[in-house]
Amino acid sequence: MAISFSLAGKAALVTGANTGIGQAIAVALAEAGADVALAGRSEPTETIALIEATGRKCVNIKADLSSIEPVQRVIDEAVAGLGKVDILVNNAGIIRRDDLLQFSEEDWDAVMDTNLKTLFFLSQAAAKGMVERGGGKIVNIASLLTFQGGIRVPSYAAAKSGVGGVTKAMANELAPKGVQVNAIAPGYISTNNTAALQGDETRNRQILERIPTGRWGDPKDIAGAAVFLASPASDYVTGHVLAVDGGWLAR
């Protein structure tokens, strides 16, 4: 039997797909054959155009995912536009930086709400339909800080560690119902969010010296992993956090 990476006939929902990793994942899913719904605060004009250029359908859902208030509406609009949600990619996230001794409750709550609470409840809402149809795929975006503590980002480290834990918890309960839940932990990826790091000559050199492959990752590196985890090729993979980091964690 041929191993299938095809997503023909599938419908995917991707959060935070305006640029960077989310955009690359959304476009790659479309290239693999899926129709795609996008959910987020920003207008993903470029992403929509790239998806439609593949010949696949694209639905845009305006939603502020900093709280769980729009969660059910997002699922309902995705189903209304695409007929179903077979694949959910929880990519939307934020980060707040400050010294530990003065880190605020506001910054703690903002990151935890967006990166962990909304992720769980959106997954819960999507999983209900997946279970009814007998299968589905949930892909969460974790981080190297799922495994490490980082510096000056305590709420982000806590949230992304939580993403790893909740990925496994969901996988345990949903696997018998035909739904696989996994996560991707990106390494240092070249995006708008990391432009300052790349522009800092000293920090950029330190990062590259630590990465065995000797280069920053490209959003497409994450997109390939997402297509695998969304496809039939990964039907026996669940509860796994896949580091796509150029070997950073192995160093």
Residue with tokens 């694209």: 58
The number of C-alpha atoms within 13 Å of 37 and in the hemisphere containing its C-beta is 26
d(CA 247, CA 251): 6
Query: Rounded to whole angstroms, how far apart are CA atoms 131 and 213?
Result: 40
Q: Say if CB 99 and CB 34 are below 8 A apart.
A: no
Cα gap 95→98, rounded to integer Å: 10
Given the DSSP bridges, would you call strands 58-62 and 87-90 parallel, antiparallel or unpaired? unpaired
Catalytic residue ranges: 156
Torsion angles phi and psi, residue 67, rounded to 5: -140, 170
Q: For residue 85, is it left (φ>0), alpha (ψ between -120 and 50) or beta? A: beta
The identity of residue 153, as a single letter, is: V
Amino acid in the structure at residue 31: E
Longest dimension (CA), the chain: 57
Distance CA 56, CA 35 (A): 5
